[in-house]
A and B are shown apart, each in its own frame.
Chain A
Amino acid sequence: MQLQTHPLFHHLRQIRRRVRTLVAGALIAGASVAANAADLRIGLSADVTSMDPHFLNIAPNNNVGWHVFDALTHVDENTRLIPGLATAWKALNPTTWEFTLRRGVKFHDGSDFTAEDVLFSIERAAKLPNGQYAGFVQRLTGKTAVDAHTLRLNTATPYAMVPYDLNSIFIVSKKAAANAATEDFNSGKAMIGTGPFKFVRFARGDRVELARNERYWASGDNKAAVWDKVIFRIMPTDPARLAALLSGDVDMMEQIPTADLARIRGNAKFQTAQKISWRTLFFHLDQSRDRAPFLTDRAGKPLEKNPFKDARVRLAISKAINRQAIADRVMEGGATPASNLVSPPVFGHVAALKPEAFDLAGAKKLLADAGYPNGFSMTLHAPNNRYVNDEQIAQAVAQMLARAGIQAKVEALPISAYLPKARSGDFSFAMLGWGSYSGDLALRALVATPDKDKGYGAWNWSGYSNPKVDRLLDQAFSTVEDRRREEIAREAMQIAMRDAALIPLHHQLATWAMRRPLTYTARTDEYTFAHHVRQ
């Protein structure tokens, strides 16, 4: 779930949607292309707030971070872990991990990359005031550099996620970043990494400029850049970003609005790259409280019993939703129906689970069996500026539920008002979107029984609780062998999904558009990497 900034005023969005359709059609006719061959200009869809790689853990900041810095472990376009600054890692025993660091890697200032820099970066991430990366390193109880290129990390209890967690820790130069504050990164003084690009300039709210690192250690999926210079333009407004692409002000943009996809594809000057995103949309339904808010009978009298406690009702709702229709019509092909909490390329996805088929008669029968032959009334809560077409999706689902006899009123809120309310349990049926590197991580946050000490269930708005799932998750996180861990994660996913702990809706597709002949290796994690853009 990344910080997607959208203009505040909803009515403006409505006007814009209409205008955009008109403008895109007219614009394409006269699009021109002009650019220096070795420069690449990219329109970003969300604001980059800081260069400090250990401050705010949001996608736009990380996106820039991945150009200037590397981490010990990287992920490929399918979100699978691959070597980064570490060439290999293994668990010596369940609580000790050994990382072998890449040799011959130089920082942008020419100094050598060693284990000292890694130790410094971990330390900085753990201690930075207001930093949001401490959670990825707090389980490390011991850190030792065996030699300049070997690192040992200890955890108090067996913990399988160390290599995954270190994917979030950017390695900065100890020499350049010692005592550096956020301002020193923004100014470029401490912005010394090992990544494929050197930092040039950050103009807040406007652009980030980078230059190629000629000495990048490229290997395998970690490609070196073909561009001398890259300019990221910050353009959160969809029509502005689209207009910039069509008029040749940028060479490439991320996040094409679904309504404009067909037009871009129909224009010979441009092409798109698309891939299933890790972002999955689903509905939480309150199944822990005996009486949940907004649930009434058709006459408006609050229900004595919470119908969502009955698995048949949850399944009925799932059957009443025509996922394919939403993916085709509301999302205009920009989504694919979901059966899991993680999308197909992601670790722990269960291919055996199929999206619940649309079955109106079956849904009505299940509702009648559960004692609701006349259905009931509820309010469906959704954000209106976070996910692609979020409010329209909610409207479509409400109408589908109405056909099964459940009267659903839609209430859509801006994300800044929505999340705090959802967290404090003000909703009983609420939309949420999620992106995870693995199925067990998603389950831990979304369906595990809330437990502060273990960090389970931080986003479990449903209040679903199944000791069996919790036990499997405990087991997964202490299993250092990946294949075994994936089996356990899949088992847990299967149990939770069969219980209809949540109602999965769809996985979004991530789309980039670029002028021909540029090509891009589309990524499931939605990052826009200039070094993966080819000519």
Chain B
Amino acid sequence: MSVYLIRRLLQSVLVLFVMSLLVFAGVFAIGNPVDILINPQADQAEIARATAALGLDRPLWEQYWVFLEQAAQGNLGKSFAFNIPAIQLILERLPATLELATAAMLIAIVFGIPLGLWAGLKPDSIAGKAIMTGSILGFSLPTFWVGLILIMIFSAQLGWLPSSGRGPTVDVLGVPVSFLSREGLMHLAMPALNLALFKLSLIIRLTRAGTREALLQDYVKFARAKGLTDARVIGVHVLKNILIPIVTVMGLEFGSVIAFAIVTESVFAWPGMGKLLIESINVLDRPVIVAYLCIIVVLFILINLAVDLIYSLLDPRVRMADAG
């Protein structure tokens, strides 16, 4: 187990290093952010001064070396546009995105698994067919469009929900969260649903396929023959066996929801990290872009680790082998 963890850690450091190098070179190739950030009335001397102040007049390798030196001390640089440490900027936005992503995943799981089970157990019923048709829509409709339609129906026509933004927050253990108040939940409802739609469809389809396959397996027939109730056969034996692929996919999807909730955050003006990333790319705010991607890499690594651990809980045959 510990060897496994150490190897994972070393791999992660390598990934971080390569990624930061790529992003650094990429942003450098696009050009000088000062051109975009500076007031147009500025003359040549001012542009040169601003460029030097950000250290952008030095050669790329030197800039990268400075970055590595600082990174080793836990400092990923100050944002060009915000003038505060990039890490602080991102961590400030992280709770909003995590809240949104978690709410979306909860919706997807709570509704997706029962609906998928139903569709798998009764594939030929009207309900089963309706669920599958619905999931096709959830797959194929663009998030952007669905978001706007949700706003149109629930805020403009019916006036039930606010059209955008995050509700008032309260600090829980120092983390600002908005889901504890009614107003916060109302703000959260539409963006979370919008973000959940695709994952929901995915879970429905995975669960349905798994269920149909499992029903044909010998252990199910055997359990039935033993006289177990349907609830026990499905709730324990079938469910536990189909969960492994679902957990894998959900783990990966959770990462991508956090990292790339950009479209939903833009449509609903949700003050999360995705919006920050887009705006930072627009102004070539390199410290923020690099720091953002570093954090995302770390997040993916942690999620994958969690997925591996859940495997071993679900299936005792899976081990965190030190050798393998």
Contacts and interface: CB of A to CB of B under 8 A. Distances in A.
A247 B162 CA distance: 8
A134 interface: yes
A247 B155 contact: yes
Given A233-B165, A243-B151, A415-B282, A26 B156 contact: yes
Given A206-B165, A237-B269, A458-B43, A420 B156 contact: no
Residue of B37, B164, B268 most packed against chain A (CB within 10 A) = B164
A204 B94 CA distance: 12
Contacts of A50: 81-84
Given A3-B283, A445-B41, A233 B47 contact: no
A299 B180 CA distance: 68
Interface string A51-69: 0100111100000000000
A49 B81 contact: yes
A441 B43 CA distance: 11
B54 interface: yes
Contact of A130 (B54, B92, B262): B54
A55 B159 CA distance: 40
Contact of B31 (A20, A417, A458): A417
Given A23-B152, A50-B82, A458-B47, A247 B144 contact: no
B163 interface: yes
Contacts of B37: 3, 56, 58, 132
A229 B52 CA distance: 41
Nearest to A204: B92
B159 A32 contact: yes
Interface stretch (A7-15, A98-106, A210-218): A7-15
Interface in A110-144: 129-130, 132, 134-135
A112 B80 CA distance: 34
A12 B144 contact: yes
B49 interface: yes
A182 interface: yes
A207 B84 CA distance: 18
A416 B164 contact: no
B170 to A, nearest CB: 14
B42 to A, nearest CB: 6
Interface string A219-250: 00000000000000111110111011011110
B279 A47 contact: yes
Contacts of A129: 53
B279 A247 contact: no
Contacts of A19: 144-145, 148
A459 interface: yes
A200 B111 CA distance: 41
B205 interface: no
A419 to B, nearest CB: 4
A416 B40 contact: no
A30 B49 CA distance: 52
B35 A420 contact: yes
B305 to A, nearest CB: 30
B163 A205 contact: no
A15 B145 contact: yes
Contacts of B223: none
Given A55-B83, A235-B269, A452-B44, A132 B145 contact: no
Contacts of B304: none
A148 interface: no
A183 B41 contact: no
Nearest to B278: A8
Contacts of A414: 282
A346 to B, nearest CB: 14
A263 interface: no
Contacts of A8: 278, 281-282
Nearest to B273: A205
B82 A49 contact: yes
A459 to B, nearest CB: 7
B275 A235 contact: no
Contact of A419 (B31, B268, B275): B31
Contacts of B53: 129-130
B83 A15 contact: no
Interface in A193-210: 203-207
A243 B84 contact: no
Nearest to B53: A130
Interface size of A as a range = 35 or more
Given A132-B42, A419-B31, A244 B159 contact: no
Given A7-B278, A233-B269, A249 B36 contact: no
Contacts of B82: 49-50, 204
A479 interface: no
A27 interface: yes
B263 interface: yes
B39 A206 contact: no
Contacts of B144: 12, 15-16, 19
B267 A206 contact: no
A420 B159 contact: no
Contact of A416 (B31, B44, B149, B272): B31
B164 A12 contact: no
A13 to B, nearest CB: 10
A41 to B, nearest CB: 10
B93 interface: yes
B103 interface: no
Contact of B148 (A23, A249, A420, A452): A23
A236 B79 CA distance: 19
A298 interface: no
Contact of A456 (B32, B38, B43, B81): B43
A134 B47 CA distance: 11
29 contacts: A5-B278, A7-B266, A19-B144, A30-B156, A32-B156, A32-B159, A50-B82, A56-B37, A56-B83, A134-B49, A135-B42, A182-B83, A204-B93, A205-B275, A206-B271, A236-B275, A237-B269, A241-B269, A243-B151, A244-B269, A246-B163, A414-B282, A416-B282, A419-B31, A423-B31, A445-B41, A452-B43, A455-B46, A458-B43
Interface of B: 30-33, 35-47, 49-50, 53-54, 79-84, 89, 92-93, 142, 144-145, 148-149, 151-152, 155-159, 162-166, 262-263, 266-269, 271-272, 275-276, 278-279, 281-284
Interface of A: 1, 3, 5-8, 12, 15-16, 19-20, 23, 26-27, 29-32, 47, 49-50, 52, 55-58, 129-130, 132, 134-135, 182-183, 186, 203-207, 233-237, 239-241, 243-244, 246-249, 385, 414-417, 419-421, 423, 434-436, 441, 445, 450, 452-456, 458-459
